[in-house]
Amino acid sequence: MKKIFLILLLAISYQLSAVSCQLSVVDSLSQQSASTVSVNGLSQSQSQSLSQSQSQSQQCESLLSKSYLKSYWNSGLTVLSQPLHYDWKDWTVFGGVAAVTTLAFVYDDDIYNFVNGTFSENQSNAISKYTNVFGEEYFILPSVALTYAIGAINKDSRLRNMSLAALQSFVYAEVASAGLKVLTCRERPTASSQQPTANSQSWLGPFATFESTAFPSGHAMRSFALATTVAGFYPDRKWVGVLSYSLATMTSVGRVISKEHWTSDVIVGAALGYFIGRGVVKFNEKIGNVSSVEIQPVATNYGLGVVINF
């Protein structure tokens, strides 16, 4: 059921992109209609403008382009190859994260016992109801679609590009999270049919079951991937980064308080989300300093998508 819901959300997202593209074309044609008209018809410059609008309209009639698919491949390579370009500061941060993660693995049970003794079931559920939303697919996808539509209507290229990059980060986070979950099959702190009591050392191994999906936290990975992407596109607006990372941190802490994850699950998920988001931002910087990539939504009778022009 969840997969069907995600497919519907993606369809809605693409539909919004298609609508924003058509609105852009209509707006362009309206401006040209109000411009100078000669006695014999259209002036040369107006004729050229109409040709450009027709070309843009044809782009809206194109199916998912090869350049867009290629951007996912190249962006993915940029994400994976980041350690090859690390300097001593990056490796220092990596070492710090590794140390914190190791400590979390050691004290997972102690932290869980503390949380379990501090928060009642009702309190945990009440907190997670508000914190989980920022890492949920049903919140992220419509938000990305909405920001893209706003960027297209307002001709804000940075907002449009950020939205597409955020979608890319989301896809990578989903793939990485799902892959690691089925390869590790770590039991959650909450009781299950296979484990009636919490045990942080219970790792069932690759493809043992689809019920044990604690490691890593998908909510933490998605929220930090999105936060890092958004902050990376708006380095000149510090409040954007502060807000984005605050929401991601709140989501991650909420997963521990809700007893859905061990602390190490959340730390690894957040670290991988940051790694993914940073790589996506670096890719966009490499191909056009973040905001110089021209992105056009497309729609045909066969489907919906976007075109990236470098």
pLDDT value for 208: 83
pTM of the model: 0.76
Q: How many domains does the chain have?
A: 1
> In the predicted model, is pLDDT for residue 19 greater than 50?
no
- Is residue 157 included in any domain, yes or no? yes
> In the predicted model, is pLDDT for residue 260 greater than 50?
yes
- Report d(CA 222, CA 178) in Å as an integer: 11
**Residue keyed to tokens 């999270």:** 177
Of 41 and 124, the structure prediction assigns the larger pLDDT to: 124
- Is residue 133 included in any domain, yes or no? yes
Q: What is the 3-state secondary structure (H, E, C) of 42-96?
A: ECHHHHHHHHHHHHHHHHCCCCCCHHHHHHHHHHHHHHHCHHHHCCHHHHHHHHH
The b-or-e profile of 241-253 (16+ CB within 10 A means b, else e) is beebbebbbbbbb
Backbone angles phi, psi at 200, to 5 degrees: -70, -15
Percentage of the chain modeled with pLDDT above 70: 68
**Residue keyed to tokens 């999906």:** 213
User: Any idea what DSSP says for residue 296?
Assistant: E
| Residues contacting residue 114 through CB under 8 Å, at least 6 positions apart | none
Q: Of the ranges 6-10, 20-24, 155-159, 274-278, which is most confident?
A: 274-278
pLDDT digits (tens, 9 = 90+) for 210-248: 888 899 999 999 999 999 999 999 999 999 999 999 999
- Is residue 278 included in any domain, yes or no? yes
> In the predicted model, is pLDDT for residue 4 greater than 50?
no
- Is residue 174 included in any domain, yes or no? yes
pLDDT value for 64: 43
Q: What is the 3-state secondary structure (H, E, C) of 234-250?
A: CCCCHHHHHHHHHHHHH
In this prediction, residues 273-286 reach a mean pLDDT of: 94
pLDDT digits (tens, 9 = 90+) for 171-198: 999 999 999 999 999 999 885 545 556 6
| Confidence band of 99 (pLDDT split at 50, 70, 90) | very high
- Is residue 127 included in any domain, yes or no? yes
- Is residue 274 included in any domain, yes or no? yes
Range of the domain at 230: 68-298
- Is residue 35 included in any domain, yes or no? no
Strand, coil or helix: what is 10? helix
Identify the CATH number of the domain in which residue 293 sits: 1.20.144
pLDDT digits (tens, 9 = 90+) for 50-81: 455 444 444 433 334 466 567 888 899 999 99
- Is residue 137 included in any domain, yes or no? yes
pLDDT digits (tens, 9 = 90+) for 141-161: 999 999 989 998 998 889 988
